Structure 1
């Protein structure tokens, strides 16, 4: 987890991308699920009740989906790094935790989930 303090969570964001090492993953695409935790100071937003004092999570979701549906990468680790960079581009965010789930990973065994989590600081 991203630690104590104020945070915003966006969980279960689903988008179709063409990421993967195998040719059919890049050709056919598959769904990816993204969870994001943002650490930031929400006290100004709590006092002002003004969207300008926080992160607009709808706009953030749009930007994250654009990364998932955008340029293909081989590794979900790389995808997670790109998503974390989007989160940290928000000036109020000082830490981001991003988990990328690959529910249809080409693994020849039954599994519940395959995911990668990165935690990155701003500065």
Structure 2
């Protein structure tokens, strides 16, 4: 079984979407991450270098979501998953990208895409 580090509710302003107003005005996206890693060495040594530095990871995810607008939140989720899997010690990741202000023409709480990716 893989240990997990969970980050929930990361808010990032971006300009993703298929509609011109989404690209020009932008909106807030919310990202949840569950990163699979082995934390035994970190727990044994109490050493940050032996685990995923989630503070650094958050900074990288914010930059990845905020840059280079794309049409789909599926693309944003894959971008974040690839970034996470590039981190040393990360074996798998679950990424959810929420788009709570999605322009669908009716009131709603949220639209989200969740993907699961692993090194294998």
Aligned equivalent of 2:30:
33
In the alignment, which of 49, 59, 62 is matched to residue 62 of structure 1? 59
CA distance in structure 1 between the aligned counterparts of 2:113 and 2:53, rounded to whole angstroms:
25
RMSD of aligned alpha carbons: 0.8
Moved over 3 A (4+): none
Aligned equivalent of 2:6:
9
Give TM-score, length-normalised by structure 1. Answer: 0.95
User: 3-state SS of the aligned residue for 1:118?
Assistant: strand
Aligned equivalent of 2:95:
98
2:116 paired with 1:119: yes
CA distance in structure 2 between the aligned counterparts of 1:103 and 1:32, rounded to whole angstroms:
7
User: 3-state SS of the aligned residue for 2:5?
Assistant: strand
Aligned equivalent of 2:49:
52
- After superposition, give the CA deviation of every residue in 1:25-73 in whole Å (9 maximum; x if it has no partner): 0001000000000111000000000000001101100000001110000
User: 3-state SS of the aligned residue for 1:64?
Assistant: helix
For structure 1, list consecutive stretches of 5 or more residues without a partner in the other structure: none
Size of the alignment, in residue pairs? 120
Give TM-score, length-normalised by structure 2. Answer: 0.97
